[in-house]
Structure 1
Amino acid sequence: MISEGKITIDLGQDGTVQLRSNRRVDVGKLLTGRHPDEALTLLPMIFSLCGQAHVAAARQALAYPGSKAEARTLALAVLAENAREHLLRIALGWRVDEVANDMPLHDLAALVVGMKAAAGDERAERIAAGQLSELLATCVFGSAPEEFLEVSTATSFQGWIAQSQSSAAKFIAKVCRNGWHDLGSAPTHYLPDLSPHLLTARLLEPSYTQAPDWLGQPRETGPLARQHAHPLVAALISKYGTGLLARLAARLIDLAKIPAQMRQTTAISAGGPGFGIVETARGRLIHTAKLQGGAIVDYRILAPTEWNFHPEGAAVQALGALPQGPDWAEKAGVLVQAIDPCVDFEVRAA
């Protein structure tokens, strides 16, 4: 595994936000000259958080042959990986008075392995999806995920917060008590469907993977971009803007949908020869590849963090909307966790 880097965010006394990242964005160079089989073996070793998603994107970009059963196994593994990453963010970041979350971390770590072992056996797949539903009901929603998806208004969401005894609900109750509903609300530009031809051309630009844009505008990808049209998230955006509460709700909606996606084996990757896209927990992952004589001669990877933590992107805009005060750094930290970079970060307030 390579060093994954760090994001440093400086909040200036004049309200400016400066974001610096030393994340490696040239990892594709490690695959140049290699055979696709070797690249697919290396990718989950290089990327510790979303290894299955990287393999899925690479298989599309490399036009790698495989059976329907193999594709189904990988799709289920990516969905399990997405659930794990959402749950880890909730377990490690959604705390009240620094009290540890009661999430069973061992069970989270086993989600991907368990789903891959179940793949190919319909009964085992149903059991694995059911176990995830039970975990979500016990530790996150206080009821079946399908029931949570029926929460559709700000009022019914407040009712869920009041009734649920889960650590997730208690954290959101804290957010509401603190008056952080609209924390970091700022104009948001979601990442649209992309033209593979145009994006592949843009990725050849030397600095594009460090600071990507689309049509001259930094874009946001991830739970809020995917779920902004869900009735609950739309209602919260209408009332509070694209602030902290809408972002937390979007993550919950994203998570609640995963068991059903597993049962339906919802497609999570797209693309074709030279281009692969996978929706990960943090947002859209993009791979492009060029082969010659059976070997990789060019490989590019564009991860969600580069979109969301662009120097002028969603995180910087949200942080720039924060009011200054004694708890400025604390609010900024909570907001950065909600947007969720795939590397460590540090917030420094002047």
Structure 2
Amino acid sequence: MSIEGEITIKVITNSGVAKETLITSSRPLHIPQLFIDQPVQKVAETLDSLYQLCNTAHRFAFLRLLDKCKVISLSENEVLAYQLLLDLETIREHCFSISSKWRINDNQKINKNMIDLLATLKEINSTLFSVGNPLSLLDKTLQSFACIKNLVEKLKTQLTLTLIGEQFNAETVFSNIHNFDYWIKTQSSDCAIFLHNIQQSKFGDLGKVKTQFLPNITTAEITVLLNDDAFIAQPSHNGICYETTPYTRQINHPLIQQLSAKYDAGLLSRVATQLLEIFELMSRVKGNYTQIYSEDIHYNKVASIDATSAIVEVEAARGKLIHSLTVQGDQVKAYRILSPTQWNFHPQGILKQMIQALNFNNKQDLVNKITLLVNAIDPCVGYKIKVIDA
């Protein structure tokens, strides 16, 4: 088992009905305890080595915490660059999820164009920060946006050809449900074929249940909540198990509104959101970061006598990621991390409700449908499904 742990989904059935759904996690939530009484530099290095998925999100959160605690000072220019890296990471995570999980059968090969696309993403990162590790506390050199402009254009072309296909563009496909449906029915890209299969199988509204999106919780409230180990393990607020997913971020997009009107918060609305968000972020990458300029970055760390605390929220690929820090001198005195997976795979959360609402023909049919739903919510760790007929 990897250090990230694993989610187990056990469903007990009887007479063709899901009687009980048990969702458990072996994710090692105690990892931030390793940071206590450790130097800031050591914690930065440990974060980098431990968190492979959403690495940029975790490390960006840590830098922002240090900035809020006045241990270091981040320039607006570098914050903009880190936000760009975060957007690129979300694009990468979504692309990897699509290439590995949007599959009609196990024999389907991964599109080679996806491998080239991921290589371009890596090249953008290494070009933007030509010297040093971009999110470390060591010296580094940030280049201007002009240095990556051609690579960004290349990435957009690759995304379009790989995910959308020829003769279509993202602006048209995602403009309304009619164009979206036409693209699905007429294109031969892997994504279009997968989505068409969902429609043909009449799985569009699979797992549709009433859902509640994670609201903004005040700093005072979240500070208290994060100090509770039980909350970190199984978060709820005011007795409600919320979800925080790409679907919650994109719910106001016209296409997602139209899909939700037809399929509710079912499977097709959710998987379409993941694809849509890639191109929404790509537009942001092209337009929101052009003012980034070259900068040599060096931190003069300040060790305060008094303990200082801060909380940071980051929109990571799978939802809202929350980090909290207390630092004194050069040492971390407290650290908390709440990942979106803890909300989305809560034992009483959205996935359980979706599974309990399923109709199925047999055990394998149930496993297949649960797999589609789990992949649509997209946990940051591996999972296994067990179905037991009582």
For Structure 1 versus Structure 2, the TM-score category normalised by the shorter chain is over 0.9
How do residues 1-350 of structure 1 correspond to structure 2 at under 5 angstroms? 3-14=3-14, 15=18, 16-63=20-67, 64-98=72-106, 99-119=108-128, 120-142=143-165, 143-150=168-175, 152-153=176-177, 155-263=178-286, 264-265=288-289, 274-326=310-362, 327-350=365-388
Q: Which moved more, 1:32-41 or 1:96-105?
A: 96-105
Residue identity in the other structure for 2:245: G
Give the direction of change, closer, same or farther, for the CA distance of 1:103–1:336 in structure 2 (3 Å limit): farther
Q: Secondary structure at the match of 2:233?
A: coil
- 1:74-113 residue CA offsets vs partner (Å, 9 max, x unmatched): 2222111111110011100111233123153533543553
Alpha-carbon contact 1:130-1:259 (below 8 Å) kept:
no
Q: Secondary structure at the match of 2:321?
A: strand
Q: Secondary structure at the match of 1:168?
A: helix
Q: Distance in 1 between matches of 2:309 and 2:118?
A: 32
Q: CA deviation at 1:329?
A: 0.6
Identity of aligned residues (%): 30
Q: Distance in 1 between matches of 2:329 and 2:120?
A: 38
Q: CA deviation at 1:310?
A: 0.5
Q: CA deviation at 1:243?
A: 0.7
Q: Distance in 1 between matches of 2:309 and 2:289?
A: 22
| CA RMSD of superposed structures (Å) | 2.0
Q: CA deviation at 1:273?
A: 5.7
Residue identity in the other structure for 2:230: S
Residue identity in the other structure for 2:7: I
Q: Distance in 1 between matches of 2:35 and 2:230?
A: 19
Q: Distance in 1 between matches of 2:30 and 2:66?
A: 18
- 1:155-211 residue CA offsets vs partner (Å, 9 max, x unmatched): 332111012221011000111111101111111011122212211110101211110
Q: CA deviation at 1:49?
A: 0.8
Give the direction of change, closer, same or farther, for the CA distance of 1:135–1:184 in structure 2 (3 Å limit): same
Q: Distance in 1 between matches of 2:112 and 2:241?
A: 35
Q: Secondary structure at the match of 1:221?
A: coil
Give the direction of change, closer, same or farther, for the CA distance of 1:118–1:68 in structure 2 (3 Å limit): farther
For 1:269, the equivalent position in structure 2 comes to none
Give the direction of change, closer, same or farther, for the CA distance of 1:140–1:112 in structure 2 (3 Å limit): closer
Give the direction of change, closer, same or farther, for the CA distance of 1:110–1:31 in structure 2 (3 Å limit): farther
Residue identity in the other structure for 2:6: K
- 1:279-313 residue CA offsets vs partner (Å, 9 max, x unmatched): 11111111000112231100000011001000111
Q: Distance in 2 between matches of 1:230 and 1:71?
A: 26
Residue identity in the other structure for 1:34: Q
| Total equivalences in the alignment | 343
Residue identity in the other structure for 1:248: V
Alpha-carbon contact 1:220-1:307 (below 8 Å) kept:
yes
Residue identity in the other structure for 2:61: A
Residue identity in the other structure for 2:182: G
Q: Distance in 1 between matches of 2:25 and 2:174?
A: 36
- 1:307-340 residue CA offsets vs partner (Å, 9 max, x unmatched): 1000111111111111132211111111101110
Gaps of 5+ in 1: 267-271
Residue identity in the other structure for 2:377: I
Give the direction of change, closer, same or farther, for the CA distance of 1:315–1:51 in structure 2 (3 Å limit): same
Give the direction of change, closer, same or farther, for the CA distance of 1:2–1:344 in structure 2 (3 Å limit): closer
Residue identity in the other structure for 2:368: E
Q: Distance in 1 between matches of 2:40 and 2:116?
A: 32
Give the direction of change, closer, same or farther, for the CA distance of 1:130–1:183 in structure 2 (3 Å limit): same
- 1:27-64 residue CA offsets vs partner (Å, 9 max, x unmatched): 21121112323222221211011111101111122224
Q: Secondary structure at the match of 1:7?
A: strand
Alpha-carbon contact 2:174-2:180 (below 8 Å) kept:
no
Alpha-carbon contact 1:136-1:144 (below 8 Å) kept:
no
For 2:138, the equivalent position in structure 1 comes to none
Q: CA deviation at 1:2?
A: 6.5
Alpha-carbon contact 1:88-1:108 (below 8 Å) kept:
no
Alpha-carbon contact 2:325-2:335 (below 8 Å) kept:
yes
Q: Secondary structure at the match of 1:20?
A: strand
Q: Distance in 2 between matches of 1:31 and 1:199?
A: 20
> Greater Rg, structure 1 or structure 2?
2
Task: From the two aligned structures, give the one with the greater strand fraction.
Answer: 2
Q: Distance in 2 between matches of 1:90 and 1:258?
A: 16
Length-normalised TM-score, structure 2: 0.83
Q: Secondary structure at the match of 1:28?
A: helix
Q: Secondary structure at the match of 2:147?
A: helix
Length-normalised TM-score, structure 1: 0.92
Q: CA deviation at 1:215?
A: 2.2
